[in-house]
Chains A and B, each alone.
Chain A
Amino acid sequence: MFDQYKPENKQTENADMVSRLGKTVAILAGVLIVALGLCGLTRIVDTSQTGDSFLIGLGILELLVVVVSAIGLLFITPVWIVMLIVKSVRKPPQEDSENSEE
C-alpha cells in the first residue's frame, strides 16, 4: 500500500513527467511552425480573392492556433526545464552507467 511513497517510484514519476512535458513542448513547437506556414499560404490565396469570408475565418483560426501554441510554449517550457534540472539533481549516480557510451 505504501509502495507509491518509495523514492524510486518518485523518480519514475518525475521521469514520466519530464518525458510528457518534453513531448508536449516538441508538439507545440511543431504546431506553431506549421500554423505559421499555413498563415502564409492563406495570405497568398487571399491576395487573389480579397475579402473572402472563409479565408478570413481560416486566417483567424490559424492565428489563434499560433497564439495558443506560443503561449503554451511560454508556460510549459520553463516547467519542463525546471523538471529536467530537478530530475538531474535527484538522480543517483549509478543510473548513469546504463546510458554510458558503448
Chain B
Amino acid sequence: MAGLFHPELHPLFESLGIAGGFATYRAMRARQHDPINDEHRWSVIAAAALGALAGSRILGVLEQVPHAGLHWAMWFTSGGKTIVGGLLGGWLAVELVKLLSGIRKRTGDLFAVPICLGVAIGRVGCFLAGLPDDTYGTPTRLPWGVDFGDGVRRHPTQIYELIFLLALAAALWQWQRRPHRNGVIFRGFMAAYLAWRLCIDFLKPQPLIAGMNCIQWACVAGLICLLVGELRGRQENV
C-alpha cells in the first residue's frame, strides 16, 4: 500500500478541490439569489482567496514552531498550510473588505457547501500524500488503521474528515433549501467544522501547547468569535 502515497499528489488535489469548489459555487449562485451584486461579490471572492492563502500559511508555519522553531526559511518551503488557517484568514479578510466597501449584508451562505466539497477533495490529496503531509492520526489497532509506509497502522484522520465534510455538505444543502436567516448557513458551517477540528485533532500526533495544538487553539478562537457575533446579532435584532 506504501506505493499509493506520493507527496506531489497533494497540490494536485488542492487545485482540484479549489476548482471543484468554485464550480459548485458558480452552479449554486446561478440557482439561488445572491444577496450582493457582482461588483461586491468579486471583492469578497478576492478577499477570501488572499485571506485564505495568507491565513493557511501563517497558521501552518506557527504549527511547526513548537518542534522546529521559527526561522525565515520556513515561509518559503513547500507544505505547511492548514485549512483552519485558510478559513479564519479568508473570513477575517472578507469582513475587512465588507467594512471598507460598506457591505452590511451577510455574504458567506453561498460559500458553505462549495468549501465543504473543495476541502473534501483536498483531503483525498492529504491522504495520498502520506507521512510527509502530517495530517495522519495516532497509531491504532482498529481494523481500518492505515500503514502510510512506516509499518505503523494509524487512524486515517483524512478519511474521517472526508466523510464528515460530505455529511456536513448534505446537511447544509438541505438547510439552505429551507427558509433561513441570511448568514446562518455559513456560520453553521464554520461552527461545525471548527468544533470537528477541535475534537479530531486530539487524534493527531502534533506538538501540544497547554494540552492542545496550534490549530485547536485557533479553532477555540474562531468558535469564540462566532459565539460573540451570534450574541451581538441577537441583541441587535431584539
List chain A residues, Cβ under 8 A from B100.
84-85, 87-88
Verify if B166 is at the interface (C-beta below 8 Å from A): no
Bound complex: CA A25 to CA B182 (Å): 27
Contact present for B103 and A99 (CB under 8 Å): yes
Chain A residue nearest to B11 (CB atoms) is A40
Cβ of B178 within 8 Å of any chain A Cβ, yes or no, is: no
Whether B50 is near chain A, meaning CB under 8 Å from some CB there, is yes
In the bound complex, CA of A44 to CA of B3 (Å):
13
**Contact check: which of A29, A41, A88 meets B8 at CB < 8 Å?**
A41
Check B46 against A25 for contact (C-beta < 8 Å). Answer: yes
Q: How far is the CA of A22 from the CA of B94 in the complex (A)?
A: 12
Q: Specify which chain A residues have a CB less than 8 angstroms from the CB of B15 in the assembled complex.
A: 33-34, 36-38
A29→B49 contact, CB < 8 A? yes
Given contacts A22-B43, A91-B102, A101-B106, contact A40 B12 (CB under 8 A): yes
Q: In the complex where A40-B12, A43-B8 touch, is A99 in contact with B182 (Cβ < 8 A)?
A: no
A-B contacts, 26 of them at CB < 8 A, read: A15-B39, A22-B39, A22-B47, A25-B46, A26-B42, A26-B45, A29-B46, A29-B53, A30-B18, A33-B53, A34-B15, A37-B14, A37-B15, A38-B12, A40-B8, A40-B12, A41-B8, A44-B8, A44-B12, A88-B100, A96-B104, A99-B36, A99-B40, A99-B103, A100-B105, A101-B104
Chain B contact residues, CB within 8 Å of chain A: 6, 8-16, 18-19, 22, 36, 38-40, 42-43, 45-47, 49-50, 53, 97, 99-106, 182
Interface of chain A residues 9 through 47 with chain B (CB within 8 A): 15-16, 18-19, 21-23, 25-26, 29-30, 33-34, 36-41, 43-44
Residues of chain A at interface, number, CB under 8 A: 35
Task: Say yes or no: B49 contacts A101, CB within 8 Å.
Answer: no
Q: Can you add 5 more A-B contacts, CB < 8 Å, to A88-B101, A99-B102?
A: A29-B46, A34-B15, A37-B13, A73-B50, A87-B101
Q: A49 → chain B, closest Cβ, in Å? A: 14
Cβ of B42: which chain A residues have Cβ within 8 Å of it? 19, 22-23, 26
Instruction: Judge whether A3 is part of the interface by a CB distance below 8 angstroms.
Output: no
Using Cβ atoms and an 8 Å threshold, which residues of chain A touch B18? 30, 33-34
State the Cβ distance, B118 to closest chain A Cβ, in Å: 11
CB–CB A18/B43 < 8 A: yes
CA distance A35 to B70 in the complex (A): 28
CA–CA, A33 and B49, complex, Å: 10
Question: Is there contact, CB below 8 Å, between A26 and B103?
Answer: no
Given contacts A19-B42, A34-B18, A37-B15, contact A101 B105 (CB under 8 A): yes
Encoded as 1 (CB less than 8 Å from any B CB) or 0, chain A from 79 to 91 comes to: 0100011011001
The smallest C-beta distance from B181 to any residue of chain A, in angstroms, reads 10
Contact A44-B38, Cβ < 8 Å, known A23-B46, A37-B14, A101-B106: no
Known contacts: A44-B6, A101-B105. The answer to whether A19 contacts B12 by CB under 8 A is no
